[in-house]
Amino acid sequence: MRLEQDCAARISRTGGPTTIACGEVLYITSCGTSDPTRASIPRHLAVNGSIEADQTVRLVLAGDATEELKADVRESLAGLGVPTLRELVAKARDRSVPIHV
């Protein structure tokens, strides 16, 4: 019930379509350095998608994704068509995105 009240309080009507800026998104990833693009996509969606849409975001790193916790991996991992892991981690840190391992 509390979630419904929070959502109702955040409904905005600006003369156009009604939008509801509400929700919490949990991104779970288990991909590590073997596929840099796939490893970066959950963070990219979280910080450049969900947060920009005013959603609360959490990240869960499981299995091989925990390799991203190593400083040298964070600094060097770069997927195709997505920002580098270094940039994504910095943006997640700036936005206080919780990361669970």
CA-angle at 10, arms to 88 and 56, nearest 5°: 25
pLDDT at residue 10 is higher than 80: no
* pLDDT, tens only, 36-95: 999 999 999 999 999 988 899 999 999 999 998 999 998 999 999 999 999 999 999 999
Q: What is the pLDDT of residue 54?
A: 86
pTM of the model: 0.74
pLDDT at residue 1 is higher than 50: no
DSSP string, the chain: -HHHHHHHHTEE--SSS-EE---EEEEEE---TTSHHHHHHHHHHIIIIIGGGT-EEEEEE-GGGGGGGSHHHHHH---SSS--HHHHHHHHHHTT--EE-
